[in-house]
Amino acid sequence: MKKQVKFGVGIGVILVSMGFLAWMGYGESKTYYHTIAEIETLKGTAAAHRIRVGGTVQPGSIHHVTGRTDFVLLGEGKSLLVSYTGNDPLPDSFIDNSQALVEGRITADGHFNAEHIQAKCASKYEAAPGEVARPAPAKS
Partner 1 sequence: MDVFGSFALLLAFVCALYALLGGIAAIFTRHPLLIKSARQSGIAACCLIFVSTLSVVYLFVTDNFSVAYVASHSNRDLATFFKVVALWAGQEGSLLFWCFLLSVYIFSVLIAYRNKHGELMPYVGAILAGVQLFFLTISNFVANPFKSLAVANASGGLDYLARADGSGLRAVLQYPEMIIHPPNLYSGYTGFTIPFAFALGALLARYPGEKWIHLTRKWTMIAWCFQTIGILLGAHWAYAVLGWGGYWGWDPVENASLLPWLTGTAFLHSVMMQEKRGMMKVWNVWLVFITFFLCILGTMLTRSGVVSSVHAFAQSDIGGWFVGFLIIIMAVCLGAYFKNRDYLKSENQLDSMVSRESSFLFNNLVLLVACIAVVSGTLFPVFSEWFTGSRISVGAPFFNKVNIPLGLLLLFLTGVGPLLAWRKTSAESLRRNFLWPSTMGVVGMVVALASGVRDLYALVCFALCTFVATTIVVEYYRGARVIHSRTQMNWLSSAVELTLRNTRRYGGYIVHFGMVMIFVGLAGQAFNREVQKEIPVGGTVNIGPYELLLQAMDQKQEKNYVAERMIVEVMKNHKPVMILFPERRNFPAGEESGTMVAIYSTLLEDLYVVYAGVNQGSTVPTIHVFLNPLVKWVWFGGVVVVLGTLVALLPSRQAVLVLAGGKATEPAAGFVPAVQSPVSLREGHD
Contact 15, 74 (CB under 8 A): no
Cα(97)–Cα(79) distance, integer angstroms: 13
Residue 107 touches partner 1, criterion: CB under 8 A: no
Cα(52)–Cα(11) distance, integer angstroms: 36
Residue from 1, 3, 44, 109 that binds partner 1 (CB under 8 A)? 3
Pairing, β 78-84 against β 68-75: antiparallel
Site string for partner 1, 35-74 (x = CB under 8 A): x----------------xxx--------xxxx--------
DSSP-assigned letters across all residues of 6-22 = HHHHHHHHHHHHHHHHH
In the region spanning residues 67 to 106, those forming contacts with partner 1, defined by CB under 8 A, are: 87-90, 92-93, 101
How open is the CA angle 63-88-102, to the nearest 5 degrees? 65
Q: How far is the CB of 70 from partner 1 (least distance, A)?
A: 11
Contact 116, 104 (CB under 8 A): yes
Other beta carbons less than 10 A from residue 29's beta carbon: 8
Residue from 25, 59, 60, 110 that binds partner 1 (CB under 8 A)? 25
Residue 26 touches partner 1, criterion: CB under 8 A: yes
Total binding residues toward partner 1, as defined by CB under 8 A? 52
Q: How far is the CB of 82 from partner 1 (least distance, A)?
A: 15
Binding site for partner 1 (CB under 8 A): 3, 6-7, 10-11, 14-15, 17-18, 21-22, 24-26, 28-33, 35, 52-54, 63-66, 87-90, 92-93, 101, 121, 123-124, 127-140
